[in-house]
Amino acid sequence: MPEPTIICPKCRNEIKLTESLAAPLIEETRQQFEKQLAQKDVDLATREQSLRERLETLAKQRESLDAEVAEKVRQERAKIAAEESRKAKQILSADLEQKTKEIGGLQ
């Protein structure tokens, strides 16, 4: 396998990249890559934390909404039950009056 070469920008000579010449370039590139990778890890961790916080907030809001809906349903059921009870009493009262009139008429 041929060794990689670079061309000098000043003298235009072709220079073979031996291990001793390429090592500093490789090390610098490796450090840059590791730095970028570390930054991406930090960004990812920050993003995950933000998502966890949003999920917790949404869960709390959902619980609050569920509790509110349950309370409104309970109130509405109580209201409906009271209304139906009132109607039943009116019907029973009217029926009782009619029966009383019928008994009075029969006597």
Task: List the domain boundaries for the chain.
Answer: 5-106
> Does the structure show a pLDDT above 70 at 1?
no
Q: Is 98 a residue whose pLDDT tops 60? A: yes
Q: What is the pLDDT of residue 107?
A: 77
Given a cut of 90, whether residue 25 has pLDDT beyond it is no
Average pLDDT of the chain is 90
pLDDT (average), residues 17-30: 79
Q: Let me know: does 35 contact 46? Beta carbons within 8 Å.
A: no
Give 26's pLDDT tier (boundaries 50, 70, 90): confident
Q: Is the pLDDT reported for residue 3 higher than 80?
A: no
Cα–Cα distance for residue pair 36/92, rounded to 1 Å: 82
pLDDT tens for each residue of 32-91:
999 999 999 999 999 999 999 999 999 999 999 999 999 999 999 999 999 999 999 999
Q: Are strands 14-16 and 5-7 parallel, antiparallel or unpaired?
A: antiparallel
Where residue 4 falls (left for φ over 0; alpha for ψ -120 to 50; beta otherwise) is: beta
Q: Which residue has the higher pLDDT, 36 or 7?
A: 36
